[in-house]
Structure 1
């Protein structure tokens, strides 16, 4: 009986895909802006056209989230991202300042490795393919094994559309036999120029340890502060809209709510009215044992599941129509599940004496997990909003908006993206919402504007031997010096 070595097959496939992607990228790099734009438009159209089909596939295969919400994510990745990037200059001279005598020239990075999570599989592929090709790059995807089929189908659909629009074969590809060894080979391959890592902390860490430049994102654990001046009804609506969107699988979604003592009762009452269920201490304790695995990582069984499913798994009874499970909490730490990232409709609820204490609590939560990612504040007090913006260790301060949709740029004017940088504080190479400009290098052409005499602080005129090259001002200066000498 023949033994099939899956790892070797995966590694060999990666080498073949990267080789083809390298050749394809050379062709992309020689294309005009118009040719690139045509391909990007084709990817966008194909993604939008197949948004529902791919959404249904993703839910069926992964068991995460809601396919109707995944349609919105696929459409966002296709249309919203396209509308933002369509007029960007990413080929040739992209900026020129004639007065300062400097020009900027876009240079593609080359072959991009795209790591795809199971939480946002199809939308991530559409988005990463579009921003990569927009920058003149090819991309090879490493699918999450639990979402392999829907990811590969997405690659097939958009790649076909891209080729029909003039894209070279092999510019958009994916590993059909995914494995840890294959992914490692992809990340470490000498012809891969950059890794776009979206996934779990272990995968992102592996990307940064690969020796290949990487753009990775850490976990989200965004606290939402409802300050006393806020429209409480609207704030609660936005939080619930966000936390229930695709059952909380977007990393920018709220993970905890922080309120002031003076408005605690009003906030609790409003959450209950809108479908929030405050668990008893016993229920919260029972669920807490189910949120984390023994190794301290999030239990994948809760990811993207409905409150009803989660309650059944944890053995607790909740009212019909419950939208989000809420646990009152005071503690923050790795050993306290509610203070950590929960990619599910589960929230921690903290109450503090005043906004200053609430500010400190938010910082504690972020430093525990999610530093560099996102914080949400609901308030009408601009002074307090600015205080939060100045002090929080995050890359995004979202004001009066749902976290999930605000963080990715759907409900705000941030760059529309499904990869959100966390900055140095979060262990990321950038704090940006990742777009095409993060996937190109800038070659700068500059003309000299000063001579060495000027840098030394010397009179340029006195050291110049050719009077014909001097302007009238310099000639007058020489005449004045000669007259002074004659007088002397």
Structure 2
């Protein structure tokens, strides 16, 4: 009976999950239809209240996320929550997403923004609250509603962030249920939300399988692939600064941002200097035996990250791997001689571990970077530390859409330390199987309606077109019936003469 009751409970849960999903989709669609009529002033008022709520709850949401998932650090998640609200708002506030957004007086084309409709947001466990805040704000800015599918291991904190954003929006005048979230997550519920008629577009941030599922749902989707960011320290680089940036990036929220560095590449002429600098700043170079133990701990089922080691400190990883490291170690580095099978640290590692490579020169660094990117990060990001501007341009030829120069890759990729758009959805373009190569903003979530005036007179040429020629004469080049009969008679007479001969 116990087994039967368990089966019934699972069946009931699945039914409840599906029903909840259908309900929040319908409610979200109705709410969005009302929001579509709001003015720019009304939308800005709503967003300001959402930002205020996110700021006031940045600490508690960060604590919830770390407590529930075990990933990352509270202080860094606080920064991400604030970045996804206050910094984001400052960037998107001037954006015109309502009414006439462009008026080309020369070509007489006027562009009018229209919302996409109801969005579905897929939320990862690594950045649950900040991604929920970010997607909620860019959705409202473009007059869209949004419903979230949370990762089961980050359900509580994602649900709390979504409800916080919805309550703040409604308190400032938005329609009820403009932001929704599944509280009973299941694969059936996620699939239902992806394919339901109410959802107009999917914004997917998560694992490769989930992103592929979003693109196969039969509707527009903005998905992002994994990052496997190589960081090249070129011979002209400021070594101390380069190492400082890499460590700051890799330890930021313990490496949970997909734009974080995954491998360090150095030229052999500066290998010793770079290694010494890493040691001075808290890097620990593992022996081959220690590297093997850590690699075995980090991955399951081939190259899938062990969830228990995602977003963990170097000390926690070392303890679980059974190796001893110096007190104060910030990152673990393991030398690798190749890429792919047999070289586990050549894959993405969303934690405080780096692969380490030595090359002869920048050309070999180029080749190695491409191999690493094709090993799970094509289209995403690449980091280079150099004082030679020409070198940065050379690396711009690599198959990525973010070339981050002399900065921490995690913070640079999301736009915290660079001029890129603040975002937690980083497109990988067609190279990475994504519909966009941009950092996603509200401008990706609008349709553009165009009013186009005639500026060229094409009617003058219609009289000489084949369609206008019927039985009537087509100008001076027309051939009369009499001329045609004369040609026919000449051909007949010619044939008769040939027959006489």
Q: One fold, TM greater than 0.5? A: yes
Matched, 1:420 2:395: no
Corresponding residue to 1:278 among 278, 285, 288? 285
Corresponding residue to 2:343 among 336, 345, 358? 336
Which position in structure 1 is the counterpart of 2:329? 322
Q: What's the secondary structure of 2:261's corresponding residue? A: coil
Matched, 1:363 2:367: no
Output one character per residue of 1:278-313: Cα deviation in whole Å (capped at 9) or x when no partner. 000110011111221124311111100111111111
Q: What's the secondary structure of 1:256's corresponding residue? A: strand
Q: What's the secondary structure of 2:308's corresponding residue? A: coil
Inter-partner Cα distance in structure 1 for 2:303 and 2:242: 31
Matched, 1:125 2:132: yes
1:93-242 to 2 correspondence within 5 Å? 93-242=100-249
Corresponding residue to 1:407 among 407, 413, 425? 413
Corresponding residue to 2:453 among 434, 441, 447? 447
Based on CA coordinates, which of the two structures has the bigger radius of gyration?
A: 2
Over 3 Å counting, the alpha-carbon distance change for 1:328 and 1:455 in structure 2 is: farther
Output one character per residue of 1:107-127: Cα deviation in whole Å (capped at 9) or x when no partner. 111000000011000000000
Q: What's the secondary structure of 1:255's corresponding residue? A: strand
Output one character per residue of 1:391-420: Cα deviation in whole Å (capped at 9) or x when no partner. 210010000010000000000010100000
Output one character per residue of 1:172-230: Cα deviation in whole Å (capped at 9) or x when no partner. 01001011110110001111000000011111111111112110000011000000001
Which position in structure 2 is the counterpart of 1:65? 72
Q: What's the secondary structure of 1:150's corresponding residue? A: helix
Inter-partner Cα distance in structure 1 for 2:383 and 2:343: 21
1:248-397 to 2 correspondence within 5 Å? 248-389=255-396, 391-397=397-403
Inter-partner Cα distance in structure 1 for 2:254 and 2:191: 31
Matched, 1:81 2:85: no
Over 3 Å counting, the alpha-carbon distance change for 1:209 and 1:384 in structure 2 is: same
1:21-36 to 2 correspondence within 5 Å? 21-36=28-43
1:328 Cα deviation from its structure 2 partner? 0.7
Corresponding residue to 1:13 among 20, 25, 41? 20
Inter-partner Cα distance in structure 1 for 2:13 and 2:188: 9
Q: What's the secondary structure of 1:350's corresponding residue? A: strand
Q: What's the secondary structure of 2:177's corresponding residue? A: coil
Q: What's the secondary structure of 2:447's corresponding residue? A: strand
Inter-partner Cα distance in structure 2 for 1:457 and 1:321: 85
Q: What's the secondary structure of 2:427's corresponding residue? A: coil
Contact 2:337 2:343 (C-alpha < 8 Å) held by counterparts = no
Inter-partner Cα distance in structure 2 for 1:456 and 1:383: 55
Contact 1:291 1:337 (C-alpha < 8 Å) held by counterparts = no
Contact 1:296 1:335 (C-alpha < 8 Å) held by counterparts = no
Contact 1:197 1:215 (C-alpha < 8 Å) held by counterparts = yes
The number of aligned residues is: 457
Inter-partner Cα distance in structure 2 for 1:120 and 1:241: 18
1:334 Cα deviation from its structure 2 partner? 4.6
1:457 Cα deviation from its structure 2 partner? 13
Structure 2 unaligned spans of 5+ = 465-501
Inter-partner Cα distance in structure 2 for 1:160 and 1:453: 57
Contact 2:378 2:400 (C-alpha < 8 Å) held by counterparts = yes
TM-score (norm 1): 0.92
Contact 2:145 2:179 (C-alpha < 8 Å) held by counterparts = yes
Corresponding residue to 1:435 among 441, 451, 471? 441
Which position in structure 1 is the counterpart of 2:478? none
Q: What's the secondary structure of 1:206's corresponding residue? A: helix
Q: After the TM superposition, which of the residue ranges 446-455 and 276-285 deviates more from structure 2?
A: 446-455
Inter-partner Cα distance in structure 1 for 2:162 and 2:333: 38
1:81 Cα deviation from its structure 2 partner? 0.6
Output one character per residue of 1:342-395: Cα deviation in whole Å (capped at 9) or x when no partner. 000000000100011111111110011100000000001111110101x21001
Contact 2:303 2:347 (C-alpha < 8 Å) held by counterparts = no
